[in-house]
Structure 1
Amino acid sequence: MSVTSTFSEKTTPEKIGIALSGIILLFLLGDAIPKIFGAEFAQQATEQLGFPPYQTALIGWVLLACTVVWAIPRTSVLGAVGLTAYLGGAVTIDMHEEVWFAVVFAVGFGLLIWAAMILRRRDLLKVLIG
């Protein structure tokens, strides 16, 4: 049996998980890259949360590292854990600043990351529910 399979051999939930993961990946890259390259709006948003501007790039690199690890199928669970931790930090900061939409968005986005993971890898569901 071949270890790799083509997209047409995948089940519908797997295809949905792959498509959802692609959308999530684009969103995460769209968040990390402006931070890394020091876009003015990214630095201002980081400053408004109480961070010095020089930390914006570091935050972007952490997000990019977690995203790349998550995008690689063999290391995707580790990447999902890293993204969950990253989003947990975002939730904490946003709760402190009382930015409730951002709190709900970060929690929902974290759940979406794990939903995409479970759709891509059905064996994870067995691990989660026993």
Structure 2
Amino acid sequence: MSAVIDSNPAQPRWQTITGLVLSGLIVAFLVFDGAIKLVPIAPVTETLTALGYAANPMLARSLGIITLACALLYAIPRTSVLGAILLTGLLGGAIATHLRVGSPVFSHLLFGVYLGLMAWGGLYLRYATVRRMIPFKL
């Protein structure tokens, strides 16, 4: 199984490092985002209300657990593709929520797209298997 997700030893070092940096940034953001939802601090419940959800601490904690689970799966090399798939679903829900409430496009609505591109971009740069699954033909 490890041969499926191993990085290509022949690929340039910059590509592997760039992929690791992108993936590390995603994991750091998700851990922070999940942790503040576990507490949950006042800005979290206020944001839930602004997005049309109940200011329920259990809802915030549930979202925090889901976010941390996605981060953990994404951070482990053997489960990183599964983590990216689940993260894509989570981000899709965030995008739909921001679309529903009319959030600003580039700063809020597309933020989930930016994170998704970074997450998949990190895997794309690191793993030849992902590049074969998502080939870009020029």
> What range is the shorter-chain TM-score in?
0.7 to 0.9
- Pairing partner for 1:23 from 4, 10, 25: 25
Q: Distance in 1 between matches of 2:48 and 2:128?
A: 37
Corresponding residue of 2:85 = 81
Runs of 4+ in structure 1 over 3 Å off: none
- Pairing partner for 1:61 from 25, 42, 65: 65
Any unmatched runs of 5+ in structure 2?
none
**Identity fraction in percent:** 31
Corresponding pairs, count? 125
How big is each residue's C-alpha offset from its partner over 1:4-61, in whole Å with a ceiling of 9 and x where there is no partner? 89xxx97220111111211121111111100011111111111211212231111111
Any unmatched runs of 5+ in structure 1?
none
CA RMSD across the alignment: 2.0
Query: Is 1:129 the equivalent of 2:129?
Result: no
Q: Distance in 1 between matches of 2:116 and 2:79?
A: 17
- Normalised to the residue count of structure 1, the TM-score between the two structures is 0.88
- Normalised to the residue count of structure 2, the TM-score between the two structures is 0.83
Query: Aligned letter for 2:24?
Result: G
Corresponding residue of 1:111 = 117
Query: Is 1:97 the equivalent of 2:101?
Result: yes
Query: Is 1:120 the equivalent of 2:126?
Result: yes
Q: Distance in 2 between matches of 1:40 and 1:48?
A: 12
